[in-house]
Chain A
Amino acid sequence: QSVLTQPPSVSGAPGQRVTISCTGSSSNIGAGYDVHWYQQLPGTAPKLLIHTSSNRPSGVPDRFSGSKSGTSASLAITGLQAEDEADYYCQSYDSSLSGSVFGGGTKLTVL
């Protein structure tokens, strides 16, 4: 059971928009701690996709965007492409656990 809750899977057709939610609690996202997102392509290491809730590192397409509100955060992907098929993880800090926590991950399938 992960501290941050994500849907196990989402899917969309090429060109469509999908969102992935990340629900936390008052000891992590709700306490104001930032949310970060990672993309893990099959057989590779995770890669930072969004940091500090809505900031994209250099090289990440602007099709990827993040937002945060209350105890939840969301990752949106517009103009879905086949190469976006991957696992996506949210991450934050938890004050009760005094450490970083991840969501369980969401598998994105491009139909």
Chain B
Amino acid sequence: EVQLVESGGGLAKPGGSLRLSCAASGFTFKSAYMTWVRQAPGKGLQWVGHIKSKGHGGTADYAAAVKGRFTISRDDSKNTLYLQLNSLKAEDTAVYYCTREYFWYFDFWGRGTLVTVSS
């Protein structure tokens, strides 16, 4: 059974940082593209970015709203995906979901972790 479990959310100040983690199990993590999607309170879904498998270069792409501030990385030895959030803004407040990506769609989702940016 595929499981994705996010952690690391919480309260951060504007300009601050947080690191989210996503522990994956039930599939061959090292072969998977992985994606972060966020949802602001009461709002719709927003693609944050993804990271390719190392076999396909291991590079990451980002949405314009987070490029230069957020970094996606992976540790295939730990089956874990990361999202480093820097220079946080109030508009980054959202539930952050970890998803497995398959040909640009997202077939499994975690339950999400809430990030609140407030002074």
- B46-63 vs A: 1/0 string, CB under 8 Å? 110110000000000111
- In the complex, what residues of A have CB within 8 A of residue B45's CB? 38, 46, 89, 91, 102, 105
Bound complex: CA of A103 vs CA of B47, how far in Å? 11
Total chain B interface residues with beta-carbon distance under 8 A: 24
| A102 lies within 8 A of B64 (CB) | no
Size range of the chain A interface in the assembly: 20 to 34
Known contacts A34-B105, A45-B111; is-contact A104 B47 (Cβ 8 Å): no
Q: State whether the Cβ of A68 lies closer than 8 Å to any Cβ in chain B.
A: no
Q: State whether the Cβ of A99 lies closer than 8 Å to any Cβ in chain B.
A: yes
Q: A76 to chain B: closest CB distance in Å?
A: 19
Bound complex: CA of A45 vs CA of B6, how far in Å? 12
Known contacts A45-B97, A45-B110; is-contact A102 B47 (Cβ 8 Å): yes
- B26-41 vs A: 1/0 string, CB under 8 Å? 0000000001010000
Q: State whether the Cβ of B75 lies closer than 8 Å to any Cβ in chain A.
A: no
Known contacts A38-B45, A103-B44; is-contact A52 B103 (Cβ 8 Å): yes
- In the complex, what residues of B have CB within 8 A of residue A100's CB? 35, 47, 50, 104
18 sampled A-B residue pairs with Cβ under 8 A: A33-B104, A36-B104, A36-B106, A44-B111, A46-B45, A46-B109, A48-B106, A52-B105, A57-B107, A93-B104, A97-B63, A97-B64, A100-B35, A100-B50, A100-B104, A102-B47, A103-B44, A104-B44
Interface residues of B (CB under 8 A from A): 35, 37, 44-47, 49-50, 61-64, 97, 102-112
Question: 9 more A-B contacts (CB under 8 A) besides A34-B103, A45-B97, A45-B111?
Answer: A34-B105, A38-B45, A45-B112, A48-B108, A51-B107, A97-B64, A99-B61, A99-B63, A102-B47
